[in-house]
Amino acid sequence: MRRLTAILGYTAAGLTIAVALIAPFLWFNLFTGAVAKAGLRIDPVYTGGDPVRTIERPGYSIAVHRPVPRHTLFSRGDSFVQLVWRPAAALPDRLSDAIDLDGDARPDLVVSFRHANNPGADLRFNVVPLNPSVQAVRNAGKMGFSCLIARVGDSVVVRVPLK
């Protein structure tokens, strides 16, 4: 009887360990499915908003994203609009583009920067507003969430602060 109790106890312990090792893999699919169905999204402050249009230039394109408003509860910077130039390898060394943010066929700002083909180079940009809703920027780098320039993969991302 003691031997049978020991065998059953060790068997139960082994099965418990096996279930403990396998359960996370089984529950992971259920958990990710529930999160996907919940419709959770990453905050636009981090993603830069959804792209709304693409401006084609000879050899490269500029993606204009939806403006991201300032959050009132947890302030993570001012409102901004994100612009993405790609491919970075096709950009000229000195770049100056007039960009229409709202799709009315009139440029709202002029963004200019020097693009170094070195991915680790320190990038700086200038913004000349042609519309009162855009803030002027002079020789800015990575100043925060709402005003930055960065090379991300084969793209150059610029966030322009709005008033």
Quick: pLDDT tens for 58-111: 999 999 999 988 876 655 568 899 999 999 888 988 999 999 998 888 999 999
153 shares a domain with 84: yes
Please report the pLDDT score of residue 149 as a whole number.
Answer: 93
Token pair listed for 34: 């529930």
Please report the pLDDT score of residue 156 as a whole number.
Answer: 93
Query: Rounded to a whole number, what is the largest CA-CA distance in the chain?
Result: 90
Nearest to 156 by CA among 72, 62, 93, 45: 62
149 shares a domain with 75: yes
Please report the pLDDT score of residue 59 as a whole number.
Answer: 92
Please report the pLDDT score of residue 115 as a whole number.
Answer: 80
48 shares a domain with 96: yes
Please report the pLDDT score of residue 74 as a whole number.
Answer: 59
Residue type, 148: L
- 91 backbone dihedrals φ, ψ, rounded to 5°: -75, 145
65 shares a domain with 144: yes
Q: Read off the pLDDT band of 53 (50, 70, 90).
A: very high
64 shares a domain with 15: no
Please report the pLDDT score of residue 10 as a whole number.
Answer: 93
Quick: pLDDT tens for 115-159: 877 777 789 999 999 989 999 999 888 887 788 999 988 899 999
The answer to whether 130 and 107 are in contact (CB under 8 A) is yes
3 shares a domain with 65: no
The answer to whether 99 and 107 are in contact (CB under 8 A) is yes
Complete edge-to-edge strand list for the sheet that includes strand 80-86:
51-57, 60-65, 80-86, 155-161, 148-152
Token pair listed for 50: 């959804």
68 shares a domain with 117: yes
What is the residue range of 11's domain? 1-40
Terminal CA-CA length for the chain: 82
Please report the pLDDT score of residue 51 as a whole number.
Answer: 94
Tell me how far apart the alpha carbons of residues 65 and 84 are, in angstroms, rounded to a whole number.
Answer: 8
Token pair listed for 60: 């490269």
128 shares a domain with 61: yes
